[in-house]
Amino acid sequence: MKQFLNFLGSKTFFLQLALALIVVVLLCFMVLQWLKSATNHSEFVEVPDFSKMSVMDMRKAAEEAGLRYEVLDSTNFDPSYPRFSILEQDPPPGTKVKDNRKIYFTVNPSGYKKVSVPNIIQVTQRNATSMLRAVGLDVQRVTYIDELGKDMVYQIKFKGKYVSPGDKLPKTSKIELICGNGTIPKKAIIQAESKN
């Protein structure tokens, strides 16, 4: 044990310790230099603004900037953007990224997705309007006809054509409700009188 303690205080031990530290420092320095060159340290590409670009233009611009890309589908149509144009990107424009970084794009679809017309026949106008708004349809106009059920929906029209429950219409379509005005139709009165 005494020899070991003497060795810890000797010149040989301190010389070997100093050599070992120098080797570790040199090795760390060399690894850091290699990492800088291998990872292009402090070399960045600024992400361009791809918004409202077509997919073809986005592909060209991304390749010219040295970036990879992935196109994600979108189900939410935005009428303020052209069809099949870039809605969103991640990372956002102006961000500094490494060369060959993958950019994720959300593309504007060709139009609103289609929704089913709910069964609103024999439902009050107020409830029918709520049911239509819940699926993304709007009431443009209400037309009244002679029917006993006041404010009861009897028919549905879209662009002048009759529509049935379950038919598919583009989201945000404006439809017309045909509702009763609370009066008995003349044909019902005539039929009732003819039976007497």
Q: Rounded distance, CA 45 to CA 95, Å?
A: 8
Quick: pLDDT tens for 63-107. Answer: 998 899 998 877 778 888 888 889 899 999 999 888 888 999 999
Question: For residue 128, what are the CA distances in angstroms to 67, 120, 142, 152, 168?
Answer: 50, 5, 11, 9, 17
**Fold exhibited by the domain 114-184:** Trypsin Inhibitor V; Chain A (3.30.10)
Check residue 74 and give its pLDDT.
75
Model confidence at 111, in pLDDT bands (50, 70, 90)?
confident
C-alpha triplet 141, 152, 170: angle, nearest 5° = 45
| Across 162-170, average pLDDT | 94
- 187: pLDDT strictly greater than 80: no
Find out whether 51 and 93 touch, Cβ atoms under 8 Å: yes
Same fold, 45-107 and 114-184: yes
Q: Residue ranges of the domains in the chain? A: 45-107, 114-184
- Output the CATH code of domain 45-107: 3.30.10.20
